[in-house]
Amino acid sequence: MVAVRRRAVLPVVATFILLAGCQPDGQVAPAATTPVTPVAPVTTSSPTGTPSPPPPPSTSSSSAKPPSSGIVVVLDPGHNGANAKNPAEINRLVPAGRGQTKACNTTGTSTNAGYPEHAFTFDVAKRVGAELEANGIKVVYTRDNDSGVGPCVDKRAEIGNAANATAVVSIHGDGSNSAGAHGFHVETSSPPLNAEQGAPTTKLATVLRDGIRAKGFTTANYIGQNGLFPRPDLGGLNLSTRPAALIECGNMRDAADAATMSSADGRQRYADAIAAAIETYVGA
Ligand code: ZN
């Protein structure tokens, strides 16, 4: 659904109204969050009643770290693969915060060659999640496949809230047709509607911006300031009661950004940068 997502990007002051097409969405992914249950030590006695010797040291060869205590990261891949074929469901209005309603979800953008944003966001999110889980962080996804509808933006926020997420990170790609527009930026709810949308969210966005930039990605030259874009109009961010930020990884209409976003190697680079930044934020 290219038309809805298309953005007129200049002047910057007026852009937040026109940018409404890019919102968090997806489907719940509970299966990926099963924690590893450690095996309890066995304290059996011998048949003669004499105490058993202490159990031998664990010989487990697992390289996975145990879950970091209490750290939960919610990853929210934007849009979903079947959104475009379900306009009635996607266009129904849902609460979006600040007394507003917005469409449940949108279809997202694509590269000029047709690589869709929903596929990009899902692939990057899964790569990020795999890295976090390998470092013992519990990961909850807002959707667990790329062939469903939604979930709506309010439901996505609810998933992060219900998980009591340490951080909620939405992953998107932008779709500006402004000539030369390229680079990534990080969006937050502003003005903040609760304490978590204040300093914690600003810190999350800043750590993400710094971490992604440190891995060689360029901040956007067409929107926001210095890679950050606080805005009042995204329902998924407005409704979050946890630290939450949305990354627009690049402009899918820009040839260079599209080349990176369309390649598995490029998506892994994004994932490496995002995962490292999230780990910095959560202190893992
Ligand atoms: Zn999007």
State the Cα torsion 150-19-1-173 to the nearest 10°: -70
Averaged pLDDT of the chain: 84
- Identify the band that residue 35 occupies on the pLDDT scale cut at 50, 70 and 90: very low
- Cα(249) to centroid(ligand 1), Å: 10
Q: How far apart are CA 232 and CA 211, in angstroms?
A: 24
User: 90-143: per-residue pLDDT in tens?
Assistant: 999 999 999 999 999 999 999 999 999 999 999 999 999 999 999 999 999 999
In this prediction, residue 277 carries a pLDDT of 98
Q: Is the pLDDT of residue 10 over 50?
A: no
pLDDT of residue 64: 55
CA distance linking residue 261 with residue 16, whole number of Å: 24
CA of 108 to the centre of ligand 1 (A): 5
Question: Are 274 and 248 a contacting pair, CB within 8 Å?
Answer: no
Which tokens sit at 20? 């409404």
Residue 215 has pLDDT above 60, yes or no: yes
Cβ-Cβ contacts under 8 Å for 272 (sequence gap 6 or more): 131, 215
163-192 burial, b at 16+ Cβ within 10 Å, e below that, comes to bebbbbbbbbbbbbebeebbbbbbbbbbeb
Please give the distance, rounded to the nearest whole angstrom, from the Cα atom of residue 155 to the centre of ligand 1.
16
Nearest to 120 by CA among 250, 273, 282: 250
> Would you say 186 and 270 are in contact if contact means Cβ atoms under 8 Å apart?
no
Query: 41 C-alpha to center of ligand 1: Å?
Result: 48
Note the pLDDT tens digit of each residue in 50-99. 444 444 444 444 455 655 568 999 999 999 999 999 999 999 999 999 99
Calculate how far, in angstroms, residue 24's C-alpha sits from the geometric centre of ligand 1.
Answer: 7
Helices (H) and strands (E) in the chain, counts: 9, 8
Distance 151 CA to ligand 1 centre (A): 13
Q: Is the pLDDT of residue 220 over 50?
A: yes
Catalytic-role residue among 117, 158, 248, 279 = 248
Query: pLDDT (tens digit, 9 = 90+) per residue, 221-268?
Result: 999 999 999 999 999 999 999 999 999 999 999 999 999 999 999 999
| CATH number assigned to the domain covering 72-283 | 3.40.630.40
3-state secondary structure of 192: coil
CA of 198 to the centre of ligand 1 (A): 23
Report CA(254)–ligand 1 centroid distance (Å).
Answer: 15
The CA distance from 15 to 6, in Å, is 12
Distance 163 CA to ligand 1 centre (A): 23
The pLDDT tens digits for 234-245 are: 999 999 999 999
CA–CA distance, 33 with 21 (Å, rounded to integer):
30
248 is catalytic: yes
Amino acid in position 109: T
Among 172, 173, 230, residue whose Cα is nearest residue 204: 230
